[in-house]
Structure 1
């Protein structure tokens, strides 16, 4: 948390507050990007990382990029950057959610449909130097499949152990909606001496939440204060502009009166301006000629591409038919998509309850999502992706057949 004196010094661009703001932005941006940091990091590395991270997030003010690398100046520019970052929607909420202490067994659930990018564009223009051996690609594919199977097996083992803990501790939890202990709670029962560390983490999280609530109450005051900072910067900028204009008006007569060769220089500038105008007219004429020649080439190319239009139209029609197969599910009543973390809760095997996900499980049925419903939605999505994969494979076969027809003396045997 920046000290009030640091903010007050940064308002008047005092160099004493520069290092504090560099460190503040460094720590904040490291948390946003999920990196690690230490107090012993060099100030040069901190400055370069802050400049890069702010530019990456869209803060393109050039005054910040021109600040010295030793962090000795620019406290007011850093205050503006900090305020711009603080004004990002949901920034503090995301940081609190990322640093939240998880005492329950949670898992990530997502039933949102993501658009798959088209990776076929630009593949036909690759040169000979960009070619990759097919055997290397097959080896990479096999390695990826092996790692995926290993990860899937580990996840299944974790789910089995988690299910055992939930079954063995069923009916032991004080909250009847949960009914069983989580892994953290079961570990505390086995090793009660670890409760001190958990208590310290809970106290730290409570302090963060209290600071967030205090910030929400004082946030309007901060933005009003930032308006005064911007007003001061605008006044200083207007004063600098007026001083520069006054110096120019005062110095111009002195130059013309003290320099007898000024008239000759003005005449040369007039001749140069006329020459530039003539060159500009010639350039416009040349551009018009080039445009006419370009449109002629485009017209001839369009005539040549008319023959390819029918084949392209067929491909587009096949793609549209593939997309229309999923309209039955899209035209159905839309349900609320599940996305994010949810707590795993084992329910008894009676008709009124099932195993479900819920951020906070209560007696209301709408607060939990059944695992069976999530599995059904994912199976529908899997079937749609399988149909699209088959269509892409068929297109690749047709393309390979066309390439094989152009090869003389080569026999291609399908695997």
Structure 2
């Protein structure tokens, strides 16, 4: 993979360890070999199929490539060279590596995959109370569509919605029975009852082996994720160096872009902090906990919200620190101008 001794002294093999941890943190069905990253760095065609594996698209390799491109376009990836790649998978492994790295940084890909593939022991429900506004523009040309066909689609949609509503009501009734019948049996008093999975383990004790395997697999992915977070700077250093060697004329441009990106992130974080609502709407999966009227309310703490709030506060403190540094610099300049025959030498940057 190349040497990282200059940046990480005393840590031989840090880059292979970082890429290995990255691969182990991915779900088993979407886990390329670490060698694939080295092949993609040199734009080897055999790394294309391995790079696009595990995206869970429809059947067909050409359909798979179109699916990957549509996902990147949906998330805002704007590199035109990526979308100009052929659909036969004959080339483009380096572009895939850049796109994959962009997803890692832009949408926190590993965190999302860990959340989507985690073992769910408790009963959960998807909740969304976030207000969203959509602006529907009228089409620029007239659409020749049969009204009866639209009425048929509307009726079919209503029927599906009613069927889904009935199924959810039946599911809620069954969950209520399990939660009420097992009330007071759980070791965790904040929950107080068993979930469907826990009840099934009591009825079928032999099924714990499969659950144990899933938990061990998830634990290994979490351990790999923690290792990846420690070695993540090694990976980005390798990506930047690879990019600079590929395009040596863009080194100054890349450095300027990184500086501007950091400044923009700081301003955006501060803007989000000032523009955020006092009470954010609920969005995502939440565990269902049965509580009667006599029970005390439970205060849930969402780790993602806490981390986001701390990041916003960090951005505000950084902005304040930068402002104070500028004030100190101006004051020192004024003092230095009044000193005759004295040369002020700034400290060496480390």
Deviation, 1:140, is 4.2
* 2:49 aligned with 1:22: yes
Query: Any residues of structure 2 matched to 1:56-67 within 5 Å, and which?
Result: 56-67=74-85
Matches of 1:226 and 1:25, distance apart in 2 = 19
* 2:222 aligned with 1:214: no
- Would you say how many aligned residue pairs link Structure 1 and Structure 2? 247
2:281 to 337, 358, 363: 337
3-state SS of paired residue (2:287):
strand
Structure with greater contact order relative to length (CA < 8 Å, sep ≥ 6): 2
Matches of 2:130 and 2:87, distance apart in 1 = 44
RMSD over equivalenced CA pairs, Å: 3.3
C-alpha distance 19-357 of structure 1, shift in aligned 2 (>3 A): farther
Q: Which residues of structure 2 form unaligned runs of 5+? A: 1-22, 24-31, 252-276, 303-350
1:130 to 144, 148, 162: 144
Matches of 2:282 and 2:71, distance apart in 1 = 31
Query: Any residues of structure 2 matched to 1:9-408 within 5 Å, and which?
Result: 9-13=39-43, 15=44, 18-27=45-54, 30=55, 35=57, 42=61, 46-67=64-85, 69-118=87-136, 121=138, 127=142, 130=144, 132-133=146-147, 137-235=150-248, 335-350=279-294, 352-353=295-296, 358=300
TM-score when normalising by structure 2: 0.60
Matches of 2:159 and 2:84, distance apart in 1 = 49
C-alpha distance 187-138 of structure 1, shift in aligned 2 (>3 A): same
Say if 2:52 and 2:65, in contact at 8 Å, map to a contact too: no
Select the structure that is richer in helix: 1
Matches of 2:141 and 2:38, distance apart in 1 = 57
Deviations 1:307-336 (A, max 9, x none): xxxxxxxxxxxxxxxxxxxxxxxxxx9533
Matches of 1:126 and 1:81, distance apart in 2 = 35
Say if 2:48 and 2:91, in contact at 8 Å, map to a contact too: no
3-state SS of paired residue (2:292):
coil
Deviation, 1:179, is 0.8
3-state SS of paired residue (2:247):
helix
TM-score when normalising by structure 1: 0.52
Matches of 1:139 and 1:87, distance apart in 2 = 44
Deviation, 1:227, is 1.6
